[in-house]
Amino acid sequence: MKLSLQQRAYLAGFLDADGSIYVQAKKNQTYKFGYQIAPYIVFYQSSKSNLFQEVYKLIGFGHVRMRKDGVTEYIIGKKEDILNFIDIISPYLILKKKQIMILKQILKQKELVKNEEDFETILQLCNSFQDLNYSKKRKIRTLCP
């Protein structure tokens, strides 16, 4: 993906203003520790807008989801795409720099998990998003008592 500095800064500003960076730990018994770690970068716009067609032309990956409440989401959820996108826009982020740093940490840590204690570290990092994002203050129950 070749983007000009102006396009990179635009996407970073768009994410800072109308985007979200988060990681969900979804209960899933088919995974080793009972949770699936699912990272996302999401942009939001009114469904009346056609902006995401232009964004897709710039980025070239991700997908669009139209919600029933009149909001359209542009979602980047694949690890490789997330890392690629982070590399391109992170120097230009202002408001969501901490979220990007945590997300990168989670993706790196995910590769190193060998035991419950390692996985617990990822769950704690996931919980740290609640202090940085406008969330419903959900906490992921930890594995360790």
Q: Does domain 5-132 bear CATH number 3.10.28.10?
A: yes
pLDDT tens sequence across 30-79: 998 999 999 999 999 998 988 898 899 999 999 999 999 999 999 999 99
Q: Which residues pair with 71 in a beta bridge?
A: 46
**Can you give the pLDDT at residue 97?**
94
pLDDT the model gives residue 25: 87
What residues does each domain of the chain span?
A: 5-132
Compute how many other C-beta atoms are within 10 angstroms of the C-beta atom of residue 83: 15
Q: Is the pLDDT of residue 126 over 70?
A: yes
Residue 144 has pLDDT above 60, yes or no: no
Q: What is the pTM of this model?
A: 0.85
